[in-house]
Amino acid sequence: MTNRIQSRSQVTTAKRIVVKVGSSSISGENVGQIAPLVDALAAAHGRGSEVILVSSGAIATGIPFLDLDARPTDLATQQAAAAVGQNLLIYRYQHSLDRFDIVAGQVLLTAGDLDNPTHRGNAQRAMERLLDLRILPIVNENDTVATHEIRFGDNDHLAALVCQLVRADLLVLLSDIDALYTKPPLDPAAVKITEVAFDDDLSSVEFGDVGAAGVGTGGAGTKVAAAKLAAASGTPVLLASTTDVAAALSGADIGTWFEAAAL
């Protein structure tokens, strides 16, 4: 860990930040959110932080170009959609990053890559070198070769593993909602949770889905599991809305803060 971050007010001092964004936030009718997301990443990059983006969205981005009206259920078509969509997704990010003269580096990983010591070491060296060169790595699961049996399951989990890989100072999990709630946010009895102590098992929380149905694969439960995994490795986590990413990376008092283990 390069810089111990203990609260939102210290976010701007984080040396190495991993930001995760989901499919529903940057594809389809929300493709316009890529530019403000890049604005926020570029601002953090500009103040000297090393920024890694974990971005879902390859399959969702590819769907309309394969003349499909829904997410495919068979593996071969998912792989085809990912192959088309990943290319377009990276193009859209790079086109937006061009405004800041920032170069993106694509890093596609499978669960097997992080389980295999040789592959894991290669991925770690590549990421470290990209960051040394002030390149902004954009990480996604390699859906074109991934199988149903060997997957990360969701990119929230992948983001937590990337934090472990690069010893990140902060993980920002972006969502369609602004924070974690005690119940699904549409429930009138739902109460926002602003702070989660490391030893809080959140057993009283009633999880619902987060994200557009049929597009993303994650929900509140996957985000909490990922946050707990990252926090156990010493990386604090901020869960916030994608529309609030600029405020999140500026240290504003928003979202849900997951305290990290004191390692």
Cα angle: 225, vertex 227, 233; to 5 degrees: 105
**25 annotated as a binding-site residue:** no
CA distance 250 to 112: 35
**122 annotated as a binding-site residue:** no
Residue 53's nearest CA partner among 234, 250, 260, 242 is 242
Return the half-sphere exposure (C-beta side, CA atoms, 13 A cut-off) of residue 39.
13
CA distance 183 to 150: 31
Which residues, listed in sequence order, are joined to residue 171 by a DSSP beta bridge?
18, 237
**96 annotated as a binding-site residue:** no
**23 annotated as a binding-site residue:** no
Amino acid making up residue 229 = L
**56 annotated as a binding-site residue:** yes
**244 annotated as a binding-site residue:** no
Contact, 221 vs 207, CB < 8 A? yes
Which residues, listed in sequence order, are joined to residue 173 by a DSSP beta bridge?
20, 239
Q: What are the binding residues for ATP? A: 20, 175-176
Q: What are the binding residues for substrate? A: 56, 143, 155
Q: What are the binding residues? A: 20, 56, 143, 155, 175-176
